[in-house]
Amino acid sequence: NAGVTQTPKFQVLKTGQSMTLQCAQDMNHNSMYWYRQDPGMGLRLIYYSASEGTTDKGEVPNGYNVSRLNKREFSLRLESAAPSQTSVYFCASSGGTSQSYNEQFFGPGTRLTVL
Amino acid sequence: AQKITQTQPGMFVQEKEAVTLDCTYDTSDPSYGLFWYKQPSSGEMIFLIYQGSYDQQNATEGRYSLNFQKARKSANLVISASQLGDSAMYFCAMRGVNTNAGKSTFGDGTTLTVKP
């Protein structure tokens, strides 16, 4: 059981470049999430997917798009990267539905730097 | 809207002593869950403990317990018998139902340092 995996672990982009962060979970969880963590701060929700085929905006969705490819995979795309998007990105998943209280399991994170 | 407030940016505790990390919250949801996570310097997020808003008893998990006071909207984490390995950042989080279904909100965290 790998849990939640994220690729890549590190990435450096130039302003204006695009990229996709990949996330996969093997726990058969319904819900998946993308967060960003800026230095010295807590996690802020970018987008989440309560179930396969649905996605919703979180607290800071501007500049990002997501795709819930199937039950296992949830990708995050930066269409035109900006220095303000320099952060550590975490993917997470949880069992049950959006109306259950199961804890979230987190991936190891992707450290993104935009120059 | 949901909000989590952690008022202690940093805390120190002597090894083997107990420590309380504060968390207050605000939400419009009548039903919600409260969580604590640990983030060591290596960066991973580790789930510690969960409390449901309608749970009658305070949650406990080993050396961790959650002091839940619903009327005060507080969900403090108590770590008993602190160990050097407890040194980390600790985050309080909540997730609601209805208007905030699925959305998770995290506090800014408390850095705990355990002194030998």
- pLDDT over threshold 80, residue B96: no
In chain A, which residues have pLDDT < 50? 98-99
Cβ separation A44–B106 shorter than 8 A: yes
Q: How many interchain CB pairs under 8 A, A with B?
A: 60
Contacts with A3 from chain B: Cβ below 8 Å: none
Average pLDDT over residues B33-56: 92
Instruction: Give which of B61, B89, B104 to mutate to test A binding, by max A Cβ within 10 Å.
Output: B104
Beta bridge partners, A20, equal A77
Nearest residue of chain B to residue A42 (CA atoms): B108
What pLDDT is recorded for position B98? 57
Residue B77 pairs in a beta bridge with B21, B66
User: pLDDT band at B10, cuts 50/70/90?
Assistant: very high
Residue of B nearest to A35 (CA): B104
Burial B63-79 (b: 16+ CB within 10 A, else e): ebbbbbeeeeebbbbbb
Residues of A with CB under 8 A from a CB of B: 31, 33, 35, 40-45, 48, 50, 56, 58-59, 88, 90, 92, 98-99, 101, 103-106, 108-109
pLDDT at A52: 87
Q: What per-residue confidence (pLDDT) applies to A30?
A: 86
For position A98, what pLDDT does the model report?
A: 46
Q: Find the closest chain A residue to B52 by CA distance.
A: A101
Burial of B90 (0-12, 13-18, 19+ CB in 10 A): buried
Closest CA to B76 of B6, B2, B3, B1: B6
